[in-house]
Chain A
Amino acid sequence: MIWSKPSSSSRWHADRWLEPSLGLLAMGAALILLLVLAFLLHEAWPLLSEGDLLHLFTDGGWYPLEGHFGLLPMLWATLAAALGAVLLAGPLGLASAIFQQFYAPSALARLYRTVLALLAGIPSVVYGLWGLTVLVPLIARWQPPGASLFAAILILALMILPTIALTSASALAAVPKAWLQGAAALGLTRKGVIMGVAIPAARSGILGGILLASARALGETMAVLMVAGNVVQNPTGLFEPVRVLTANIALEMAYATGTHRAGLFASGLLLTLLVLALAWMAARITRSAHPV
């Protein structure tokens, strides 16, 4: 363990105060999460208490003013958009991480990293605006109406690509140099070193980054709202418009009252549970597959 005997009494004194205060802050952060969950439950309660929970999943459509609160099509749409984005951005992100870590000359790699970091910092509404005015009309010329699951997947992939590339690159950079040198000394080609040693060793970090990106894709609102078309229906085709859970809340919150409002909080609750499940999975993967 890294604990060593305190070297001086004053440091010991500082530690004694630091521990409980840090603990308190950590507990506060955890408490906020609980409060958020409790609040969502409380606000969604008028709808949840109205009878069986099943009708949230069995109602065919979302017409809150006519008493239909089907959330299932939006749940599928949310998952489809996030999954599509990860399938697209995952391999691309990993490839660019491998490029900058192993192939690019160091000056180029530095430049590339800066560009990625900049991309990661662009606000989502900017992506959305670009998607609405450039991407959607482009798709519409080919497959009208343009605003579709496909547009949402493209925009989301663009947004999470830097996250995946940066986390993968740092996971690859954390692989001990000695392992790579050892592998090279054994006569492995560069490809062999990367595929056989570096990626397996960095696996947990890469997967963690992908899950983090998935959580962002699930929770993204503005950009998807602007390009996905927002029609509540099961995602049956790539070029069909869909509505994701986050967009549902953002579209209708300002004008919703009564059970309509409660229905929107139910969407929020469902989404939060989805992201929590994902975070739990990420934590498990990172823990179980930790190297050394």
Chain B
Amino acid sequence: MKASRWFEQLAAVTILAGVAGVASASNDRLVLTGSSTVAPLVSEIGKRFEKQNPGIRVDVQTGGSSRGVADTRSGLVNIGMVSRALNSGEHDLVAHAIAMDGVGIILHRSNPVQTLTDEQVKAIYRGQITHWSEVGGKDVRITVVNKAEGRSTLELFLHHFALKNSEIKAQVVIGENQQGIKTVAGNPGAVGYVSIGTAEYEAARGTPIKLLPMAGVAATVDNIRDGRFPLSRPLNLVTKGAPTGLAKRFIEFARSGAVNDLVEAQFFVPLAR
């Protein structure tokens, strides 16, 4: 008897909440779709935004940068997430960068090789160059360290060097950046690529790795922030025209210094301010 009454009350509350939810969905709910690289960061930012603005819900869904562009265009979502700069055919959209993503090539500190051209990196990863002596180093076998499928660093690396993952002949496949750094630090013949933020921090703390410059630009967080480092990209929120209302408030929050710690926790680089 008691249980059934309790159940009725619960049902009533649920229905009421449901009605209220539908009624106010348009004002209190922000929907974002797009890049799976940007999504984890935005969902963290969204959680903080929800905490500071009670009653507001931020709904983040993935599906790739192109879905972010398409959904924003069609008006299906308030904001799209795109992990690259907008191209010439996307002038109808406005990009709001929230962070930069940069990947650096790392070698063991004892490796005398100081720089590699894009062509050399490509040949090494394709297994066409197998010894460091072929690129001016010692006669040591190269250990190619690659990332596991689905990681954003892999995607950025493949895109920059115009490689397909099935072309790469790796000797070690890693998941986290830290695992990559430990693998290279423990193998004088290894070459790998990891998020620059992590690598710079580790190198400064004495881990025996070094970051290679690319096209004459040193691999530093500062150069990524400026957009000068070639192997980097902006992480964008895009809107159709200038944002208004809730979307505007969210974008301002995501671009503010209040989320720097969240950006760094995902191994991205906060914006220059």
Contact = CB atoms under 8 A, between A and B. Distances in A.
Interface of A: 61-66, 68, 132-133, 136-137, 140, 144-147, 225-226, 229-232, 241, 243, 250-252, 254-257, 260
Contacts of A260: 149-150
Most A CB within 10 A of own CB, among B36, B152, B166, B171: B171
Interface in B148-180: 148-152, 164-166, 170-175, 179
B234 interface: no
A251 B172 contact: no
A132 B183 contact: yes
Interface in B114-173: 140-141, 143, 148-152, 164-166, 170-173
A231 B171 contact: yes
Given A63-B149, A68-B166, A255-B150, A146 B173 contact: no
Interface of B: 36, 62-63, 140-141, 143, 148-152, 164-166, 170-175, 179, 182-183, 186-187, 189-190
A66 B173 contact: no
A66 B189 contact: no
Given A137-B186, A257-B62, 13 more contacts: A64-B149, A64-B150, A140-B143, A140-B186, A144-B143, A146-B143, A229-B171, A230-B172, A231-B171, A241-B170, A251-B175, A256-B149, A257-B63
Nearest to B169: A231
A39 to B, nearest CB: 21
A229 B143 CA distance: 10
A241 B148 CA distance: 14
Nearest to B164: A66
A144 B165 contact: no
Given A66-B165, A145-B189, A229 B175 contact: no
Contacts of A63: 149, 165-166
Most A CB within 10 A of own CB, among B62, B143, B150: B150
Nearest to B140: A144
A230 B171 CA distance: 8
Contacts of B166: 61, 63, 66, 68
B168 to A, nearest CB: 10
